[in-house]
Amino acid sequence: QVQLVESGGGSVQAGGSLRLSCAASGYTGRRYCMGWFRQAPGKEREGVASMYTGGGSTYYADSVKGRFTISEDNAKNTLYLQMNSLKPEDTAMYYCAARTDLIVCGSTWYQAPYFTYWGQGTQVTVSS
């Protein structure tokens, strides 16, 4: 079991920055795939970025490449999403997710159904 708790959401103007955090517990000391997803009203949940914990490969959606950075602090068992140059279209509920059935994220890194564990979400609102 993995427990995930997100924080760091808020409201910013376009061009601003936010850093989301996801504190993980229950599966420490092991490597697995973690990711950030987002869901805007009326839209499907989409993968934003994923990484294999312990310094593995990172994956990004084309819409956020060059603006968002996924990272981790192993000592704190925390996953981060640094979001820069935010746009109104980035407005959504952001979720942290994890899957422990694979040792890499692989080609399904952006597909929500493959992730087993989810946080409660944190809202990000970007105004123009």
Q: What is the pLDDT of residues 6-20, one digit of tens each?
A: 999 999 999 999 999
How far from 5 is each of 21, 77, 80, CA to CA, in Å? 8, 11, 11
Q: What is the pLDDT of residues 57-103, one digit of tens each?
A: 899 999 999 999 999 998 899 999 999 999 999 999 999 999 988 77
Q: What is the pLDDT of residue 101?
A: 84
Q: What is the pLDDT of residue 55?
A: 77
Q: What is the pLDDT of residue 53?
A: 86
Beta-carbon contacts of residue 76 (< 8 Å; ≥ 6 apart): 23
Q: What is the CA radius of gyration of the chain?
A: 13
Q: What is the pLDDT of residues 22-48, one digit of tens each?
A: 999 987 667 889 999 999 999 999 999
* Distance, CA of 119 to CA of 21 (rounded, Å): 11
Cβ proximity of 128 and 14 under 8 Å: yes
